[in-house]
A and B are shown apart, each in its own frame.
Chain A
């Protein structure tokens, strides 16, 4: 199973594969060319009013004001002063319009970039980027998902599903964060390096033989899992929060979402192609909306500021796409519980870094935030933008034996050209 056409990032993978034979030169080049993506996934659906598209003073506006940003004439919520100070590094889209207003369906749509077409399962953005940006020989997982919340209703249900779809299990996420530690990656006492390698060679020989002769998907997944564990054993320290500098933890923490974002930065610094950070479904504010957002948004503000600033200081921002979004927005009108409900008709997201213009706001909503003005973008426009920004052909065709023709982005949907660098 592969994609027709050679892409920029596909080339990066081949360089890496070649690096197996001439390690130093090609591996160095591959590392230099490596592109990354960090997705701050604001599960539960964040309110655009208290973040990127405030409507102060309007009946829908909520209690907070807006504040000026580094972009002249552009205001965001006063809950985000740090982000306002680096708006010249961000791109904000204020006219997202999608069609799913329930969490599971919304998460599915915005994680896969197209409506479902059973029985075929389209891979999530993380799996596609893991395949396209990942290094074949990298011990670091190509798709890391931080999510410390063991429950979470619809997100829990989604997490239990098939992330990699038709790409295969090896492109699924390694899930860590919070109380989720990487289990079973410690070598047993008394097993030497040589013993371990010998056992793995023997296991690999037989299971690979079985996989090839029987065309066994199960064996293929098992081999992929062993390879992943082997990699994890060699890079377990990268996942150890305790090993990160105290001053960094102070900047991003003390909340778990910030600390997991710090770990995402650290993983990217060490070569991880795709890291997604989530934290249950905290943004789902049907009740206690203002009571929750008074805390959540300032926390997010700090995290965005430090992540973007740190990536830039490390020379990684031009190679790392940062995406900040949820599955939809929240209603302009306030419900009887003084909360905001689900709203896919007019919502916002933000991006920064690789392939993205700096300091731009695209799209607008009307004075009360009810509708998008003039035009809007959907999930396919968004996915075309993400792929284009990372140098991946958005319209490449999947060559799937005995399956219909699928493309990374269907219908030749246009990217949001205004924000592409």
Chain B
């Protein structure tokens, strides 16, 4: 275990589950004993966190990118690179509805905290300019559906690819961020956009190797009062093949005009690598950011919400795509993958991972 001690927080490795294929999305059942996984083979699985046993639910025709439990129900919704959203009955373990949401991938999908809405973001990066600026969208890349009926409630315009989204804790707002570091926020009651800004710090243009854009916003998370928002990804890099940008989050006061950057990963507290996951501790005193370690000491770090300071960090030895504290706050669940190994004895070794840490 590679834990590094901090002054008032400690994590301890508990166990690891090996999954046949990479895990791109994870959510927890309310009892904290089981998780839902969205995987690279298109499968959506139920995982018993104690035993490691996986039970398949429905399957997407391409990568399954996200899965979230619908609050106050016995259902979950997954999104996939087949552009579809699938509603799963968690008791019967079957699909109850499939909605062709997008022509291109669902990069991320989420359910609203009140359980009434499902949102998904999409959009293909296509060449739109001499320097390979993204072309405009062929269809609205942000779509919101009625969780009960599956019908479209809102469709919002954005510049593709739109890679990350988040509902506000009060379920009144939706935020979506894209490759170019642009975040837009909409009021879900009126359908009107209430904020829009761009941060240049997550997007790289390849001076070395390739003249195109990489990076962008990979995770979004509102503050508990729904007044500010965090974005995470990787700092600017000029070498898209390296993925060597800074491990970065930024916090914005989006209700101000102009939108103000409140804080960001402090200098000297980060290494390099793409960050894909953000999650609050239930106390709201801490949050976790996790992803890939290219250079430095950690790929998983816990930050003090009040000061933005790094409180605790470690290298989980995998590329983390999703991080969650359990509902009781006592455990941290990391999902992701290690590198795929060559075939052994005619079989592809497992390369998906779910790691469980105690938090004290």
Contacts and interface: CB of A to CB of B under 8 A. Distances in A.
A260 to B, nearest CB: 11
B126 A338 contact: no
Nearest to A288: B214
B343 A370 contact: yes
Given A59-B41, A288-B240, A335-B339, A295 B126 contact: yes
Contact of B209 (A280, A338, A339): A280
Interface in A320-364: 333-339
Contacts of B161: 291, 294
A254 B129 contact: yes
Interface in A286-323: 286-288, 291-292, 294-296, 298-299
A197 to B, nearest CB: 38
Interface residues of B, number: 48
Nearest to A286: B241
A79 B125 CA distance: 12
A280 B179 CA distance: 21
Given A259-B130, A287-B243, A291-B125, A335 B340 contact: yes
Contacts of A150: 207
B211 to A, nearest CB: 6
Interface in B209-265: 209-212, 214-215, 238-243
Contact of B206 (A254, A255, A282): A282
B348 A337 contact: no
B240 A336 contact: no
Q: Which of B129, B207, B208, B214 has the most CB of A within 10 A?
A: B208
B292 A295 contact: no
A258 B128 CA distance: 12
A282 B132 CA distance: 12
Contacts of A63: 62-63, 81, 105
Interface in A255-299: 255-256, 258-259, 279-288, 291-292, 294-296, 298-299
Contacts of B337: 334, 336, 338
A255 B340 contact: no
A406 to B, nearest CB: 33
Given A286-B243, A287-B241, A295 B132 contact: yes
Contact of B214 (A60, A255, A291): A291
Nearest to A58: B348
A225 B98 CA distance: 66
Contacts of A64: 62
A334 B22 contact: yes
Nearest to A282: B210
Nearest to B210: A282
Contacts of A334: 22, 40, 337, 339-340, 351
A287 B319 contact: no
A292 B318 contact: no
B212 A281 contact: no
Interface string A96-132: 0000000000000000000000000000000000000
A338 B342 contact: no
A152 interface: yes
Contacts of B21: 59
A44 interface: yes
A336 B338 contact: yes
Given A65-B62, A254-B130, A282 B211 contact: yes
Contacts of B125: 291, 294-295
A172 interface: no
Contacts of B129: 254-255
**Which secondary structure dominates where chain A touches chain B?**
loop
A256 to B, nearest CB: 6
A295 B212 contact: yes
Interface string B3-25: 00000000000000000011000
Contacts of A155: 209
A298 B179 CA distance: 18
Q: Which of A149, A253, A256, A338 has the most CB of B within 10 A?
A: A338
B66 interface: no
Contacts of A333: 339-342, 348
A151 interface: yes
B210 A254 contact: no
Interface in A134-149: 148-149
B127 interface: yes
A368 interface: yes
A255 B206 CA distance: 14
A259 B127 CA distance: 12
B38 to A, nearest CB: 13
A258 B132 CA distance: 11
A285 B241 contact: yes
A153 interface: yes
Nearest to A370: B343
B183 interface: no
B120 interface: no
Contacts of A296: 212
B124 interface: yes
B85 interface: no
Contacts of A338: 22, 319, 337
Interface string A145-169: 0001111110100000000000000
Contacts of A339: 243
A44 B339 contact: no
Nearest to A152: B209
Given A333-B342, A336-B318, A44 B130 contact: no
B161 to A, nearest CB: 7
B274 interface: yes
Interface in B320-350: 337-343, 348
Question: What 8 A-B pairs come out closest when comparing CB atoms?
Answer: A282-B210, A287-B243, A333-B340, A336-B339, A281-B209, A255-B127, A63-B81, A295-B125
Given A255-B129, A281-B241, A288-B243, 13 more contacts: A44-B241, A60-B348, A178-B211, A256-B130, A258-B127, A280-B206, A281-B210, A282-B240, A283-B210, A287-B242, A288-B240, A333-B348, A336-B337
24 contacts: A44-B241, A59-B41, A63-B81, A178-B211, A253-B130, A256-B211, A279-B211, A280-B209, A280-B211, A282-B206, A282-B211, A282-B212, A283-B210, A294-B125, A294-B126, A295-B125, A296-B212, A333-B341, A333-B342, A334-B339, A336-B318, A337-B274, A338-B22, A370-B343
Interface of A: 44, 59-60, 63-65, 148-153, 155, 178, 253-256, 258-259, 279-288, 291-292, 294-296, 298-299, 333-339, 368, 370
